[in-house]
């Protein structure tokens, strides 16, 4: 094995190790935990690259098969087997990528059961499944030729397969035509989301033609890579023929793409120097214009460097076309940006790495390339005196090196896993801040309903004397509720009634503020501080004071309730009931505010409807509509639960 | 389509109290909203909020919910038939069929379907216009809960007539169109409003062509394309094969003829005879 291949394989195994780690996180904790996808960006890198790019990259299979078997261009036969193998492995990689991307991967077979002829995606799925079968049959002879399968039965299968080669090839071409183009049709239904420079009624034609060009250049690139890493012969003359063909196809593609946009008048409107137009121009230049122009120059397409450059440009450019359509030029809500997480990249790259390794396996063990030059470095392969390998049986040395690479990379990957990939998605937390005292002014409410509203005093110029209000804005979103604390005190008549609202007082505290227990805007949480109790009860010796029953496992459920010790914690005047006997849970801040304030307002209004303003139980009494106050959310579940309670 | 059940939202009557949201949450036991990092605001539509109130400047409240298109893009996009158009009109979702490809999320022009991103096994969620309640003879929970009659339930024909009646009676008050009457082939959830409601869709001008038609324009070419491509390839194979065969036969004939002629001649000349 040459050094390049050894390095390549080591790197690939490392990537496979990273893939393994992310795979576990993906399938244990779900899509949300490892990707940056969201409702606004439902499709990301895995659809854009693994599926759309993957299918396009595997187009070489049907293009070369058509050239050799149908058009009788026998001289290109050396490319057939590598191209078919690439296509075969490429489509399996697409299917594997799809398993990562689907929310319910074990339903991947459902299209077979529930036919939906009106769905483009159904057509794609059906064609891909059938084509994968065709490719398996087309590639099977390569495997069956192996001496290990030298049995009469396999011989019969082999000759049978060879007899149906032509129908298989034709079937493959038809299926490829259909689904390569249909990947473009997928976006016909999203005219409002796909940028006009990419949206086109003939997208399916563009996708098909670009796939042919991409297929040709992919075969070229692969051939050059095989020469570099696997010491295979470069068919320079043939490659230059492919290059010329690709240039022609790219020309057709550019003409159609630009022509369609020009005829429909999109080009003049949208080619305005904005970022999508720059992206469009650069994509077109990289994928088609530059490589096509270069390939028309004979010295370029006859040189390996020139071919490699053009192939690399087209391949990356056409993948970019797919990515642009699926992700970049696909509209998202304005405030939302989507950039794949590193784990999304790790999966995309890892799958490619896996299948390159499988490709190399087939090349090393079966007759994929017709030339036999690689035999030249045969004897050297088994002995390397400079390393440990000399001391170990060769068969063990390589697996050791590769598994070491994979495990090391996996270990690094584990370190970089974000919290959510390990624990699953947790709702975002919105910590709550204390309410503040501000100067304000009560003014009478205009219009019906009566009552007063509160107004902040802008500047403290001394003219009218303001009075202190509480500004309740736990999440500091700029939409506070002004709370007239003094007026509420007065209404509740004396200091001892603090407990009506301040229903729980922490030890040594007379009137615990809301945010001290309701510490998240929306999420309920535990109010119990275990560490401080351990300290207060003098360490481990005190366990038994709460966890009285030593026969059961220690838990919050089996421990003594808070009230047993802190009988004075809850106010007897409390308007709200403690959530349960143990009082360990506090509802979210907003739910608490609504629960306490609105319930009380409603009760008071029901008690004395004549004297109290009718607006008392309306939202805008507190969320004053005269000021730029936006109700961020009104806890519909609170309303619902209250109504349920009131009705029953 | 005239007896399709429908909802009419009159945004001039909505006070933004969100009782519809509360009723919906209770009906489907959606529980507390679970804000997470990729969500714009906690009051956005989400997997725990099938309907919500969109607040616009100057105290305008617009209820957002599935439009139940007459020709839904999501239904046409779904490759396993998990999105279904019921005979009554509402578009419903069958989680047992869903494979989670999220094409419906991408296809919907109103951005309605939501995904349970925070779940290990996520499914799509959306408003069903309370089809089960309607089949029981009830009305949708949100309509039932509305204290201001800002949202009404009925057949589409009835509600369209009512919408036009209101617009005609108050010409200055409303925008002079019923939102959802014609857009992309019409929707079952209709709006009349004093402000333009373009913000509910991805683009202001949706046009009247139903979205599935755009797909169908390409899809109906599949069978002819399949036969055509198959036929073309077979034809080319046959023609190329035959020409090669003829060419090789001709070459053999030429060779034999040449050798016949040149047989008596000197053998040294046979190399040049092939030209």
Chain B, 73 to 112: residues with Cβ < 8 Å from chain A are 73, 76-81, 97-103, 105-107, 109, 111
- Taking only the tens place, the pLDDT of each residue in A185-195 is 999 999 999 99
| CA gap A48, A35 in Å, rounded | 14
Q: Report the pLDDT value the prediction gives residue A24, as an integer from 0 to 100.
A: 95
Residue A348 has pLDDT above 60, yes or no: yes
| CA gap B101, A124 in Å, rounded | 13
What is the least distance, in Å, from the CA of A105 to any CA of chain B? Answer: 6
Q: Report the pLDDT value the prediction gives residue A241, as an integer from 0 to 100.
A: 92
Residue A218 has pLDDT above 80, yes or no: yes
Give me the percent of chain A exceeding a pLDDT of 70.
85
| CA gap A159, A162 in Å, rounded | 5
Q: Is B58 helix (H, G, I), strand (E, B) or coil?
A: coil
| CA gap A554, A544 in Å, rounded | 10
Chain A residues with CB inside 8 Å of B231's CB?
Answer: none
Least confident of A390-404, A575-589, B67-81: A390-404
Residue A242 has pLDDT above 50, yes or no: yes
Phi first, then psi, for residue B160 (nearest 5°) are -60, -45
| CA gap A223, A564 in Å, rounded | 79
CA atoms lying within 13 Å on the CB side of residue B177 = 10
Q: Report the pLDDT value the prediction gives residue B206, as an integer from 0 to 100.
A: 87
- Taking only the tens place, the pLDDT of each residue in B39-60 is 777 788 999 999 999 888 777 8
Closest residue, chain B, to A106 (C-alpha) = B99
- Taking only the tens place, the pLDDT of each residue in A594-630 is 888 888 888 888 888 888 877 777 776 777 644 443 3
Name residues whose C-beta falls within 8 Å of residue A623's C-beta, 6 or more positions apart in sequence. A479, A481, A629, A631
What DSSP letter does each residue of A157-215 carry, written as one string? Answer: HHHHHHHTHHHHHHHHHHHHHHHHHHHHHGGGG-TTTB-TTT--TTHHHHHHHHHHHHH
| CA gap A88, A108 in Å, rounded | 19
Chain B residues with CB inside 8 Å of A636's CB?
Answer: 18-19, 21-22, 24-25
Phi first, then psi, for residue A380 (nearest 5°) are -70, -20
Chain A residues with CB inside 8 Å of B217's CB?
Answer: 188, 201
Could you tell me the CA-to-CA distances from A428 to A4, A30, A520, B118, B228 in Å, in that order? 47, 17, 10, 11, 55
What is the least distance, in Å, from the CA of B49 to any CA of chain A? Answer: 10
What DSSP letter does each residue of A231-242 carry, written as one string? Answer: -PPP-HHHHHHH
Q: Strand B124-125 to strand A525-526: parallel, antiparallel, or no bridges (unpaired)?
A: unpaired
**B254 part of contact set with chain A, CB < 8 Å:** no
- Of the candidates A220, A42, A52, A202, the one whose C-alpha atom is nearest the C-alpha of residue A128 is A52
Are the C-beta atoms of residues B68 and B110 closer than 8 Å to each other?
A: no
Element (H, E) at B234: helix B222-262
Q: Report the pLDDT value the prediction gives residue A633, as an integer from 0 to 100.
A: 34
What is the least distance, in Å, from the CA of B161 to any CA of chain A? Answer: 29
Selected residue with higher pLDDT from A93 and A493: A93
Least confident of A462-476, A499-513, B20-34, B91-105: A462-476
Contact B233 A66 (CB under 8 A): yes
Q: Report the pLDDT value the prediction gives residue A635, as an integer from 0 to 100.
A: 38
Residue B99 has pLDDT above 80, yes or no: yes
Least confident of A445-454, A550-559, B58-67: A445-454
Least confident of A40-44, B14-18, B232-236: B14-18
Residue A459 has pLDDT above 60, yes or no: no
Selected residue with higher pLDDT from B267 and A187: A187
**For residue A19, how far is the Cα from the chain centroid?**
15
Contact A336 B38 (CB under 8 A): yes
What is the least distance, in Å, from the CA of A460 to any CA of chain B? Answer: 29
Contact B106 A427 (CB under 8 A): no
Contact B217 A188 (CB under 8 A): yes
- Taking only the tens place, the pLDDT of each residue in A35-93 is 999 999 999 999 999 999 999 999 999 999 999 999 989 899 989 999 999 999 999 99
Could you tell me the CA-to-CA distances from A617 to A122, A647, B211, B239 in Å, in that order? 53, 17, 45, 86
pLDDT band per the 50, 70, 90 thresholds, residue A273: confident
Q: Which of B106, B111, B247 to mutate to test the interface with A (most CBs of A within 10 A)?
A: B106
| CA gap A557, B181 in Å, rounded | 57
Q: Dihedral of CA A491/A493/A498/A500: which sign?
A: negative
pLDDT band per the 50, 70, 90 thresholds, residue A376: very low
pLDDT band per the 50, 70, 90 thresholds, residue A216: very high
Q: Report the pLDDT value the prediction gives residue B264, as an integer from 0 to 100.
A: 58
Residue the block writes with tokens 């970049």: A328
- Taking only the tens place, the pLDDT of each residue in A149-186 is 888 888 889 889 988 999 999 999 999 999 999 999 99
CATH topology of domain B5-217: Alpha-Beta Plaits (3.30.70)
Looking at this predicted complex, what is its ipTM? Answer: 0.88
Q: Strand B114-115 to strand B124-125: parallel, antiparallel, or no bridges (unpaired)?
A: antiparallel
Residue B190 has pLDDT above 80, yes or no: yes
Selected residue with higher pLDDT from A39 and A632: A39
**Nearest-CB residue to A103 (from B18, B33, B121):** B121
- Of the candidates A633, A636, A602, A598, the one whose C-alpha atom is nearest the C-alpha of residue A479 is A633
Residue B267 has pLDDT above 60, yes or no: no
Chain B, 126 to 165: residues with Cβ < 8 Å from chain A are none
Q: Report the pLDDT value the prediction gives residue A259, as an integer from 0 to 100.
A: 95
Encoded tokens for A222? 């692969």
- In the predicted model, what is the mean pLDDT of residues A519-528? 82
Range with top average pLDDT, A227-231, A277-281, A492-496, B16-20: A277-281
Are the C-beta atoms of residues A576 and A599 closer than 8 Å to each other?
A: yes
What is the least distance, in Å, from the CA of A365 to any CA of chain B? Answer: 32
Chain A residues with CB inside 8 Å of B225's CB?
Answer: 177-178, 181
Q: Is B189 helix (H, G, I), strand (E, B) or coil?
A: strand
Q: What is the mean pLDDT of chain A?
A: 84
pLDDT band per the 50, 70, 90 thresholds, residue B155: very high
Domain-wise residue ranges, chain A: 39-339, 436-647
**Nearest-CB residue to B222 (from A178, A637, A643):** A178
Residue the block writes with tokens 């309701």: A518
What is the least distance, in Å, from the CA of A143 to any CA of chain B? Answer: 26
Domain-wise residue ranges, chain B: 5-217, 222-274
Chain B residues with CB inside 8 Å of A171's CB?
Answer: 230
Q: Report the pLDDT value the prediction gives residue A416, as an integer from 0 to 100.
A: 93
Chain B residues with CB inside 8 Å of A114's CB?
Answer: 80-81, 97
Q: What is the DSSP letter of A261?
A: H
Contact A174 B226 (CB under 8 A): yes
- In the predicted model, what is the mean pLDDT of residues A121-134? 93
Residue A514 has pLDDT above 60, yes or no: yes
Chain B residues with CB inside 8 Å of A36's CB?
Answer: 38
Residue the block writes with tokens 């049709």: A185
Give me the percent of chain A exceeding a pLDDT of 90.
47
CA dihedral B122→B127→B133→B137, nearest 10 degrees, is: -150
Selected residue with higher pLDDT from A303 and A525: A303
Q: Report the pLDDT value the prediction gives residue A378, as an integer from 0 to 100.
A: 43
Residue A349 has pLDDT above 80, yes or no: yes
| CA gap B84, A562 in Å, rounded | 52
| CA gap B244, A603 in Å, rounded | 97
CATH of A39-339, one of 3.40.50.720, 1.10.645.10, 1.20.1630.10, 3.30.43.10: 1.20.1630.10
Chain B residues with CB inside 8 Å of A637's CB?
Answer: 22, 25-26, 30-32
| CA gap A450, A454 in Å, rounded | 13
**Nearest-CB residue to B97 (from A110, A166, A170):** A110
pLDDT band per the 50, 70, 90 thresholds, residue A646: very low
The string over B83-96, giving b where at least 16 C-beta atoms fall within 10 Å of a residue's C-beta and e elsewhere, is bebbebbbbbbeee
| CA gap B53, B43 in Å, rounded | 8
- Of the candidates B30, B45, B51, B20, the one whose C-alpha atom is nearest the C-alpha of residue B143 is B20
**B206 part of contact set with chain A, CB < 8 Å:** yes
Are the C-beta atoms of residues B80 and A111 closer than 8 Å to each other?
A: yes
Strand partners, A65: none
Q: Report the pLDDT value the prediction gives residue A415, as an integer from 0 to 100.
A: 93
């Amino acid at each position: 094995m040459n050094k390049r291949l050894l390095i390549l394989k080591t790197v690939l195994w490392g990537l496979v190790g990273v893939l393994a780690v992310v795979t576990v996180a993906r399938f244990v904790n779900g899509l949300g935990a490892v990707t940056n996808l969201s409702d606004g960006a439902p499709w990301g890198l895995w659809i854009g690259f693994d599926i759309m790019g993957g299918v396009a990259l595997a187009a070489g299979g049907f293009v070369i098969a058509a050239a050799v078997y149908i058009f009788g261009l026998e001289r290109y036969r050396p490319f057939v087997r590598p191209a078919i193998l690439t296509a075969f492995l490429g489509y399996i990689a697409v299917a594997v990528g799809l398993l990562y991307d689907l929310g319910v991967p074990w339903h991947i077979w459902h299209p077979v059961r529930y036919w939906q002829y009106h769905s483009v995606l159904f057509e794609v799925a059906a064609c891909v499944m059938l084509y994968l079968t065709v490719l398996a049959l087309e590639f099977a002879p390569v495997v069956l030729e192996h001496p290990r399968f030298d049995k009469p039965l396999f011989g019969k299968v082999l000759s049978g397969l060879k007899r149906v080669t032509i129908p298989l090839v034709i079937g493959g071409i038809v299926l490829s035509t259909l689904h390569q183009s249909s990947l473009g049709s997928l976006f016909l239904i999203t005219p409002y989301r796909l940028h006009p420079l990419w949206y086109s009624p003939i997208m399916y034609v563009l996708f098909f033609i670009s796939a042919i060009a991409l297929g040709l250049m992919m075969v070229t690139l692969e051939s050059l890579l095989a020469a570099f890493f696997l010491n295979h012969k470069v068919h320079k003359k043939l490659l230059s023929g492919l290059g010329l063909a690709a240039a022609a196809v790219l020309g057709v593609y550019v003409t159609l793409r630009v022509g369609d946009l020009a005829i429909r008048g999109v080009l003049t409107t949208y080619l305005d120097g904005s970022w999508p137009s720059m992206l469009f121009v650069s994509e077109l230049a990289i994928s088609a214009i530059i490589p096509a122009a270069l390939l028309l120059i004979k010295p370029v397409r006859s040189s390996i460097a020139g071919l490699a450059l053009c192939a690399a440009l087209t391949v990356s450019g056409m993948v970019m076309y797919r990515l642009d359509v699926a992700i970049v030029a696909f509209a998202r809500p304005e405030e939302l940006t989507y950039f794949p997480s590193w784990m999304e990249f790790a999966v995309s790259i890892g799958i490619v790495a896996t299948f390159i390794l499988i490709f190399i396996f087939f090349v090393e063990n079966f007759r994929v390339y017709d030339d036999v030059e690689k035999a030249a470095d045969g004897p050297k392969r088994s002995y390397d005196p400079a390393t440990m390998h000399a001391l170990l049986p060769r068969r063990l040395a390589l697996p050791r090196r590769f598994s070491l690479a994979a495990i090391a990379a996996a270990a690094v990957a584990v370190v970089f896993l974000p919290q959510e990939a390990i624990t699953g998605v947790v709702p975002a937390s919105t910590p709550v801040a204390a309410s503040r005292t501000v100067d304000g002014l009560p003014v009478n409410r205009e219009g019906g309903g009566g009552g007063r509203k509160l107004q902040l005093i802008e500047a403290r110029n001394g003219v009218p004397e303001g009075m202190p209000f509480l500004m309740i804005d736990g999440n500091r979103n700029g939409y506070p509720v002004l709370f007239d604390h003094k007026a509420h005190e007065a209404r509740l008549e004396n200091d001892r009634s603090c407990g009506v609202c301040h229903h729980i007082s922490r030890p040594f505290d007379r009137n615990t503020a809301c945010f001290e227990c309701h510490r998240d805007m929306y999420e309920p949480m535990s109010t119990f501080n275990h560490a401080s109790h351990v300290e207060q009860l003098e360490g481990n010796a005190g366990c038994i004071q709460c966890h009285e029953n030593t026969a059961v496992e220690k838990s919050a459920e089996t421990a003594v309730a808070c009230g047993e010790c802190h009988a004075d914690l809850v106010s007897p005047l409390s308007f709200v009931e403690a959530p349960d006997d143990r009082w360990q849970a506090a509802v979210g801040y907003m739910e608490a505010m609504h629960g306490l304030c609105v319930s009380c307002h409603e009760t008071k209004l029901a008690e004395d409807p004549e004297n109290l303003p009718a607006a008392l139980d309306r939202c805008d009494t507190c969320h004053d509509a005269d000021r730029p106050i936006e109700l961020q959310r009104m806890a519909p579940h609170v309303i619902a639960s209250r109504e349920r309670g009131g009705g029953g | 389509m005239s007896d399709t059940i429908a909802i009419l939202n009159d945004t001039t009557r909505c006070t933004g109290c969100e009782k519809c949201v509360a009723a919906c949450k209770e009906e489907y036991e959606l529980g507390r909203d679970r804000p997470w990092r990729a969500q714009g605001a906690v009051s956005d539509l989400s997997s725990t909020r099938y309907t919500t109130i969109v607040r616009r400047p100057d105290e305008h409240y617009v209820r957002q919910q599935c439009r139940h298109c007459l020709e839904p893009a999501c239904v046409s996009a779904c490759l396993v038939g998990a999105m279904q158009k019921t005979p009554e009109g509402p578009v419903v979702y069958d989680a047992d069929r869903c494979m989670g490809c999220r094409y419906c999320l991408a296809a919907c022009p109103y951005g309605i379907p939501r995904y349970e991103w925070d779940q290990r096994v996520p499914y799509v969620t959306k408003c069903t216009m309370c089809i089960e309640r309607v089949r029981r003879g009830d009305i949708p929970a949100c309509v039932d809960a509305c204290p201001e009659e800002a949202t009404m339930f009925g057949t589409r024909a009835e509600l369209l007539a009512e919408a036009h009646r209101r617009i005609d009676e108050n010409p200055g008050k409303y925008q002079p169109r019923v939102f959802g009457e014609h857009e992309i082939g019409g929707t079952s959830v209709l709006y009349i409003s004093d402000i333009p409601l373009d913000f509910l869709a991805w683009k202001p001008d949706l046009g009247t062509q139903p979205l599935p038609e755009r797909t169908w324009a390409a899809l109906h070419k599949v069978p002819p394309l399949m036969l055509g491509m198959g036929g073309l390839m077979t034809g080319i194979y046959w023609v190329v094969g035959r020409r090669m065969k003829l060419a090789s036969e001709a070459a053999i004939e030429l060779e034999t003829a040449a050798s016949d002629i040149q047989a008596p001649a000197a053998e040294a000349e046979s190399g040049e005879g092939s030209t």
